[in-house]
Structure 1
Amino acid sequence: MKHTIKTGLRAGLKNWSTLLCFEILYKIIGVSLMGNITEGLLNAILKTGNVAFISQENIGSVISRPLTIVILLGGLIIFTYYVYFEIAALLICCEAGWRGEHLTVWALWKQAFLRSLRVFHYKNLPVVLALLPVIGLSVFPLTNSLLKGFRIPEFIMDFIQNNFLMLTVFVLVLTLLNVLLFFTLFSFPAVILKGDHFIGSWRQNARLMKKKKWKTALWLLACILAFLLVAFIGFVMMVLILWGVCRLEAFPAGEKSLFEFYYLKWSAMGAVALSMLGSVALSSTVITLYHDDQGDIQPQPQKKKPTVKSVLRRTVAIAATLAMLAVYSETELGGNIVYPTDGKTEIVAHRAGAVFAPENTLAALREAVAAGADMAEIDVQQTRDGALVILHDANLKRTTGLDANIWEVDEKTVRDLDAGTSFSSEFRGEPVPTLMEMLEASQNRIQLMIELKSTGHEHGLVEKTVEQIRSVHMEQSCIIASMDQELLKESKKLAPEIRTVYITALLYSDLYDLDYADGYSVETTSLTSVMLIQAHLEGKKVYAWTANKEKNIKKILRIGADGLVTDNPELARYYQDSVGENMLLQLLTDMLYGSS
């Protein structure tokens, strides 16, 4: 055990400055390069598909074109190489450390470039492509690249979590994927360092690990826990050192402010370094266990007498790496996020606010107003007799218990239903409201984003909606939204004074200039800063949905979208009001200096 720990530490730490320097350059160059390549490929798809934009409505027809398929495959190959280039570099550097060899940044780039090409052997490529989503969803930090940020869209996860069977299947699949990657981890050194093929090396390693799988799994777990422990100890030491330095340097009145300044600077650098070193720790463990399983004898390090020149060169390299880390940590790539200060992001209560009251009800609307939401999003559908009621699903069963489609029942039947009990007995008897009731309840209190649901059974849906909005003189405080572009075109033709918003899970364009849409509402995953800038240049607004978790809420606020659609407007408002605050720093200053 002692030998394995010592070997693993040498593998990971021998070239630590080289690895940090590589990771910073890799991210800066890679993100810029991948961003430009992605934009170029998407623009090429727009041209080959002869479309102005790509959305959920036309994505099927666009990607079915042969030339588009070729472009997408080319993009996939480039992204795959980008991911495996980093994995190759990590393993090469840790292999050099295991051998006791020093590796320069240039040598690392050169070797990674050449050896990462091995994954594209025709025997490896199917496995390599299949492993991409597995690596993105796994618990193993194999890469610190863009793939690490891969997340399943929140609305899909919400759907899965609300269905016990689907959640069970999802957990099982995720567990199986991590098990699969665990057995594949030790194939990476064989493929990248020795030029083997994945299938053959996987079988060989499976045989070698047959009696060691639990031991190997425990070693990996120990590596993760040890890394977390070291990170925690390092954090505590940093806080104590900064506290001590501030006591020596500052006047008592400015000591707290100086501590906060130093903490923000050094914690940013530490967070970036830890993020990168997590992948290094895993790679060094994999290399060490791989050689142990193969029965390889570790070369004894050659002891060279340090010269003034070598010490000076090493010192300059380390200083340059730390300087790059300091500069990088001050950028958004390094996690130093600057939020817009204009405060224009409106909080939109999804389905009128579906966390504290039954969705799409007057009770939910009242909660949204009380929570300080700027706008409530509601869903409008038509009954058999043409009445406009507020309902999301085409079927009434989930919210009211009646297993019938909305176009099969009349208004009276809908009005007699209970839309509150399924949420909570506290709301027993809460009815399905009409659009007019929602308009009257929101008047002079909150704006409405009225989503028109297209079922294929509507008749006069847009005309009746516009008529009711005009009847209460709410043209300026209502937005008509829909996933159906034809409904938006009709709305803009009938009532050009009423704003329209196109709702889509996926959206890409180079202009964002739809003449029948005054704005776009996109799923948070597809929201980008470039989209926002280009839409604003066309005078359009951008809303993002449905953000109920901290990560997605903060993404929308960071980018500065015009609207944040959420089931929980109180939580969104909390994060909006606390933008720029650091809760951990507040806790530390309270502990060290007392609350003020």
Structure 2
Amino acid sequence: MIPEFKSYLREFKRHWLSYLLLLMLFDLFNQFILIPLLRYITTFVLQAGAIPFVSYQNVVTIITTHTIVFVILILELLLLLFLIYVQLVVLLLSIKTIASDNFELKTIFHLTWQRIKKTRLSTLLLVTMYFLILVPLADIVFRTPLLAKIQISEFILDYLTRTPLLLGILVAFYLIIICLGARWVLALPLIIYRQEKPLAAIKSSWQLTKNGNWWSLLSRMLVVAISTAIVLVIFYGLIYGLQLIWDLFPGKYLPMTLAILNLTLIQIVSAIVLAGVIVVFTLILLRGIKLLPKGKSSFITNKKTIFIAVLAALIIVASSVFTNSLYLTGTNGKRLLIISHRGVSDQNGVQNTIPALTKTVKLKPDYVEIDLHETKDHQFVVLHDENLAKLTGVNKAPSELTLKELTQLTAKENGHQAKITSFDQYLKAAQRHKQKLLLEIKTTPKDSKKMLQNFNRKYAATILRDHYQVQSLDYRVVEGLHQINSKLKVLYIQPYNFTYPHSVADGYSMEYSTLNTDFVWQAHLKQHPVYAWTINDEKLMKKMMYGQVDGLITDNVTLAKKAIKAYQADTSYAQRILNYLIVVHVSGNLEV
């Protein structure tokens, strides 16, 4: 296996500039042209249809009353999948032709056009199915900014792991996907290089990976991935160690300049290594289908290639130097809000109850987030679930009981127990502790028609006086409260980042797994805050801080404070470089 890897590395060394240029152009095209264009089309279509957002709440309405918009969105989704396919065609064909010493743009365009002409809807559907099955391997084998947009939200996975039955189904599903992915890994190369039809390619891949051949391919990829990780860790460690020394130099500007150069060097080397990994993985796949190219010449490139490569590199490096200088000097830093999720911290009580609040306020969160349901007698109770069975053992919905009946129930959780509380009681307790609240209004089909009017009449003055905030997963609440009382600050909760909504909301609470810097940037352009939920991991907290979110909704206030302190306390440039490495290369970057 070692001689084989040496041949792969020799090939990358011969044409490293061409491979790097190829990937740089892909990145520039996606980040500055394609993704913004797709975003603009989506925004324009939604605005033309007077649709402020897309979520599970209004998808039926969109289908039934905005059929043309729905059709356009489906066509855009198909376009996105088609563009992912086209980019992979160009990428794999380019790598093979570069390795064969006969790369020409005209040739690539011609070969790509040949493949595109044979693409039919059935082909696209089969390729889409192939992508979905290979999602667990996609980040390793076929990583592109567009393919990275296909992901499953963490809150969905959390829901699927709540019961043994759902967890068993999820585990079985992933095992099947991994097994199929390992056996179908050669299907895409066969479609692109041999122009096989998708179904035939899947059958061919199944034959080529039988008798343990699938493990031969994947083990080689694992060796490359592990070796690359070790090399990068050593390199990052050396850069970090050097910056520790540079930070001891007198003055401010020399350590800062060296830090900017070091961080930029980390990004450049990471990009080169990534290019090398993608090339080696592609060569492994080519070997799997017995089409490994045999280039004969030594390192060759032309002046045009060098010019384009230098120009693209200058654009990327200049952008990196600018953003790195902002990050390292702290000019883009700001205070982050810590929001206690359901009023608890580290399982210190029963969610949404006064005893838990009393303990949590001692940790001094900026806000305590609680949930409100309307009761049978049109009052408000502090409760998250739509059924009381989980906390109290009573198989009733909040809307089926009066406030008096609800407050007589005892909730049990995490070894604690406490009485269900009314919003009025909770409000008085929060005011005694001078604790700000973030109020999430829950809705059900049984809510009264004037629920929002009653809420505004009873609590708006207090909310405005004490600078509380309101949020809801139901956009009708956001829109309704905005119409009733525009002075209230109402945020819209989004479980999935489909596109930036053009709504009347004053800010957004976003489930963290699909939140990206583009969403945060667009929100900040309108002076709207973005809160990330639910963050209970220190590395994820630092990732959100790096992504410039405005608040963390967490179940562990102490951990959040620790993470913020670790991220901001040490102002040395070495520590900031280490934070960057932890956020970007360990937790994963907040990509567009």
TM-score, length-normalised on structure 2? 0.80
**In the alignment, which of 346, 368, 371 is matched to residue 337 of structure 2?**
346
The answer to whether residue 44 in structure 2 is matched with residue 75 in structure 1 is: no
Given the alignment of the two structures, is residue 369 of structure 1 paired with residue 358 of structure 2, yes or no? Answer: no
Residue in structure 1 matching 2:224, options 219, 223, 226:
226
Unaligned segments of structure 2, at least 5 residues: 581-592
- Structure 2 residue aligned with 1:594: none
Q: Is the 8 A contact 1:330 1:336 kept in 2?
A: no
Contact 1:337–1:558 (CA under 8 A) maintained in structure 2: no
Change (3 A) 1:381 1:76: closer
Residues 540-559 of structure 1: pairs in structure 2 closer than 5 A: 540-549=528-537, 553-554=541-542, 556-559=544-547
Mapped to 2, the partners of 1:21 and 1:194 lie a distance apart of 26
Q: Deviation at 1:27?
A: 0.9
Identity over aligned pairs, percent: 20
C-alpha distance 221-362 of structure 1, shift in aligned 2 (>3 A): farther
| Distance change (3 Å), C-alpha of 1:543 and 1:314 | closer
The within-5 A match list for 1:101-112 is 101=101, 103=103, 106=105, 110=109
**Residue type of the alignment partner of 2:400:** E
Equivalent in the alignment of 1:593? none
Contact 1:134/1:177 (CA < 8 Å) preserved in 2? yes
Alignment partners' CA distance in 1, 2:48 and 2:579: 55
Asked whether the equivalents of residues 39 and 499 of structure 2 are also in contact (C-alpha less than 8 Å), the reply is no
Question: What are the residue-to-residue correspondences of 1:153-302 with 2, within 5 Å?
Answer: 153-211=153-211, 214-233=212-231, 235-236=233-234, 239-240=237-238, 263-291=262-290, 301-302=295-296
| Shift in CA distance, 430/217, structure 1 to aligned 2, threshold 3 Å | same
Partner Cα distance (2:279, 2:519) in 1:
35
Q: 1:163 to 1:275 in 2, by over 3 A?
A: farther
Deviations 1:261-309 (A, max 9, x none): 5542322222333334332222111111221xxxx6x6765357x9xx9
For residues 552-585 of structure 1, the C-alpha deviation after alignment (integer angstroms, 9 at most, x for no partner) is: 6456534544443333333444444444777696
Aligned to 1:26: 26
Q: 1:501 aligns with which of 476, 480, 491?
A: 491
Partner of 2:383: 391
**Cα distance change on mapping 1:325 and 1:134 into 2, 3 Å:** farther
Q: Give the Å deviation of 1:231.
A: 4.1
Instruction: Give, in whole Å, the separation in 2 of the partners of 1:246 and 1:359.
Output: 44
Is the Cα contact below 8 Å between 1:384 and 1:410 reproduced in 2?
yes
Answer yes or no: is 1:476 the counterpart of 2:466: yes
1:522-537 equivalent positions in 2, closer than 5 A = 522-524=510-512
Per-residue deviation, 1:525: 5.6
Cα distance in 2, alignment partners of residues 174 and 322 from structure 1: 39
Equivalent pair of 1:62/1:68 in contact (CA under 8 Å): yes
Q: Retained in 2: the 8 A contact 1:11–1:288?
A: no
Contact kept, 8 Å, 2:153 with 2:514, in 1: the verdict is no
Q: Which has the larger radius of gyration?
A: 1
Q: Quote the offset at 1:23 in angstroms.
A: 0.8
Contact 1:340–1:559 (CA under 8 A) maintained in structure 2 = no
Deviation (angstroms), 1:430 = 1.7
After TM superposition, list the pairs within 5 Å mapping 1:553-568 onto structure 2.
553-554=541-542, 556-568=544-556
Q: Which AA in structure 2 matches 1:302?
A: K
**Alpha-carbon spacing, 1:478–1:189, altered in 2? closer, same or farther (3 Å):** closer
Is residue 454 from structure 1 mapped to residue 446 from structure 2 by the alignment?
no
Q: CA distance change for structure 1 residues 116 and 10 in 2, over 3 Å: closer, same or farther? A: farther
Count of residues paired in the alignment: 569
Secondary structure of residue in 1 paired with 2:419: coil
Partner amino acid, structure 2, of 1:407: S
Q: Deviations over 1:10-48 (max 9, x none)?
A: 555543221111111111111222223222321343255
Question: How far does residue 200 in structure 1 lie from its aligned partner after superposition?
Answer: 1.3
Counterparts in 2 of 1:13 and 1:123: CA distance versus 1, 3 Å:
farther
Deviations 1:166-190 (A, max 9, x none): 2232232223223223222222222
Secondary structure of 2:465's counterpart equals: coil
Quick one: which amino acid aligns to residue 454 of structure 1? T
- Partner Cα distance (2:239, 2:439) in 1: 56
Partners of 1:489 and 1:124 lie apart in 2 by 42
> CA offsets, 1:293-339, max 9 Å, x none?
xxx6x6765357x9xx9798898788777666644654779x98998
**Gaps in structure 1 of 5+ consecutive residues:** 589-596
CA contact (8 A) 1:349 1:377 kept: yes
Matched to 1:188, the amino acid is L
